[in-house]
Structures are given as structure tokens and as C-alpha cells.
Amino acid sequence: MEKIRLGKTNLMVSRLGFGGIPIQRLSEADAVAVVKRCLDLGVTFLDTANAYTTSEERIGKALAGRREGVVLATKSTSRKREGVEKHLNLSLQRLNVKYIDLYQFHGVSDKASLDMVLAPDGPMSVAQKARDDGLIKHIGITSHQIDVAKEAVTSGKFETIMFPFNFVTSEAADELIPLAKKHDVGFIVMKPLSGGMIDNANIAFKYLFQFPEILTVVGIEKTPEIEEIVKILEGPLTITSAEKKEMQKLRDQLGTKFCHRCDYCQPCSEGIALSTVMMYPSLVRRLPPEHLFSGFWGQVIEKAESCTECGECETRCPYHLPIRELISEYAKQYREEARKYPKQQPKT
């Protein structure tokens, strides 16, 4: 697979990277097999996080005996030096490696968090010492908020920035990607399928592959998924006028107020599965009604009616979505639509 230079890290990485979120849902044997298949296909960048439960350990097992040539990235959500120290040690243990190629500050999506990361004697000083000690090779940051991401890029403290980018959420194309290039900060794409809202991998990846110097990380759960994307990368990459129309149609359908499924809004005090409820417009389009209006989805979506309007979730959403309004509207729509399927028996 073609390789690109990841900004000032000078690391050469495959244009396509592996994202370690979905393998948490698999058995360990299946997870290890998926990672190995990605490596076999030429994917040399593997991204995981302390927060992704079993992901680091499973990637570590898949890497046994084949660490060389792989660029391994993980992250910490902690904003305190003790927390970062603990996460870093855990990552090294779980991944079973002597060093991590790229250590990232995870989900830094407001100015206060960025200030905490960069505070004197704070998390950044831990990462810098780890770099001096050879435990990590490079320092990066991930964010969902454009102004924070721009500030991080211009701060000179980070060698990479990971940010959501796809043809629906494309704001990074205007300023952030050029800014990263100007400062020689490696740009890493997260959410290439917009958190599951884009179900056409062909147009999603063709769009991203128009940008020659960015690394696209995609979460992989099944080997056919990575095989399909590798095939798309092999070309042709020209976007046809029919594909352009398809992209515009999806942009129009989704608008700007849609959930990116990052789950930063959690925990909800009432236990509402917010990102799942927020997927309702996409579920209506994609699932057969007899499945969607079954007992399982009913329990999840109608749970939104127990919202107490505390507003906590909205303070944590990096996209400033009016979560209370949206989940209430989706629960209402669900109840109304479900009436059309009165004979549907609950399924579990």
C-alpha cells in the first residue's frame, strides 16, 4: 500500500490506518484475526486508546512477532499528569511493547482541556519526558472542535492532529488541513464514515483519497470491510458526476445537526443510549421497519422519554447539538411510526 509522510514525525505510514474501536465488540480470537488481516493487506498504522477497553491488549497480541514496520498509536483522555503516567504505563503493558510510536492526548475539544494538557508540569511534560526516555517517539492530539484543533496545530507542541473529516463533515478541508500542512503537523482523519452516517464506503473513501497527504484511520470490525476499502484505494479514484450527486444528496439529507457518535455526551444520569437514539434518522433509512419497530429498538429509543432535561449531556457535546430537543423529537417520531406496526411482537 502507498505510504505517506506523517508531517514532522517523518514517519512513513500507509494511507489507510486501522482504528481499534470496533474490535472491542468481537471475541479475542476474532479481534486478533482482524488486526492481522489488516497488517497482511499493508496497513502499517494502528490506532487505539486507553479508553477502548480490550482494544490495546488485542492489538498487542496481533503484533506479537511483527512489531517492526508498524506505527503504533494510542491515547489518553486524562488531563492530569498522574493520569497520563498511569495510562501510558498501562498502554505499554497492554500492547506489550517497549515503545509507542505516537502518543496522543485524546478528545481535547475545548480550550480549558487544551490549557490543562499544556499546563506547566502537566500532561504534556509527562509525554515529553516519556519521549526523552524513549517510551514514546512522537506526541499528537485528537479533537472534535475546529478552533481548539487550530490552536493545537499552531502551538508547535504537537506533531499530529486527528480530527473528524469526511464529505459530510468537511470543515477541516477549508482551514485546518492547509494549516496542518503549513506547520508540518501530520493530519489524521477520524470518522471517515461520519460515525456510521455514511453507508457508501466507495464515495466516502474516494473523497478522502483526493487529499494526498492525509492519513485516514477507519474502525474495522470485519475483514471484508478493510478488503473493500483497500480495493477502493487501488482505484480508479476519480469521482464521477453520479457519485458527486450522491454525496450532495446525503449532505442535504443529514444537514449539519447530526450526531457523530463520539459518545462524549455520556454518561447520561438516566442511562439513555444517546448516540443510538440520535441515529434514529439513519435507522429509519437503513433498517427494515419490521426490525426497527420491534421491542429491542423500542426499549432503547423510547427510553429517551425519561430525560429529566438536566442538560449535562449538552455541555459535553463537542458539536453543540441540542440533544434534549433532538432525542425528544426522535422518541416522538418513533412512537408515532411504531403505531403503524401494531402486530409487531417484541424481539430481544
Provide the binding-site residues for ligand SF4, judged by CB under 6 A: 259-265, 268-270, 272, 274-275, 278, 307-313, 317, 319, 321, 323-324
Min dist. Cβ of residue 199 to ligand SF4 (A): 18
By C-beta, is 243 or 312 nearer to ligand SF4?
Answer: 312
| Long-range pairs of 167-174 with CB within 8 A, sequence gap ≥ 24 | 167/198, 167/203, 167/204, 167/207, 167/247, 167/250, 167/251, 168/194, 168/197, 168/198, 168/250, 168/251, 168/254, 168/258, 169/194, 169/260, 171/146, 172/146, 173/211
Min dist. Cβ of residue 7 to ligand SF4 (A): 27
Residue 347 CA to residue 1 CA, distance in Å, equals 44
Secondary structure element (H or E) that encloses residue 18, with its range: strand 16-19
Min dist. Cβ of residue 323 to ligand SF4 (A): 5
By C-beta, is 224 or 311 nearer to ligand SF4?
Answer: 311
By C-beta, is 46 or 317 nearer to ligand SF4?
Answer: 317
Min dist. Cβ of residue 327 to ligand SF4 (A): 6
By C-beta, is 79 or 260 nearer to ligand SF4?
Answer: 260
Closest to 250 measured CA to CA, from 211, 288, 202, 292:
202
| Long-range pairs of 196-199 with CB within 8 A, sequence gap ≥ 24 | 196/261, 196/279, 196/282, 197/168, 197/250, 197/254, 197/258, 197/260, 197/261, 197/279, 197/282, 198/166, 198/167, 198/168, 198/250, 199/282, 199/286
Min dist. Cβ of residue 300 to ligand SF4 (A): 13
Q: Which three cell numbers stand for residue 305?
A: 422519554
Min dist. Cβ of residue 150 to ligand SF4 (A): 20
By C-beta, is 124 or 279 nearer to ligand SF4?
Answer: 279
Residue 207 CA to residue 210 CA, distance in Å, equals 6
By C-beta, is 217 or 268 nearer to ligand SF4?
Answer: 268
CA–CA distance from 237 to each of 210, 211, 224, 230 (Å)? 8, 11, 20, 12
By C-beta, is 185 or 326 nearer to ligand SF4?
Answer: 326
By C-beta, is 44 or 109 nearer to ligand SF4?
Answer: 109
Q: What are phi and psi of 13, to 5 degrees?
A: -130, 155
Confirm if 266 and 317 have CB atoms less than 8 A apart: no
Min dist. Cβ of residue 329 to ligand SF4 (A): 13
Min dist. Cβ of residue 216 to ligand SF4 (A): 20
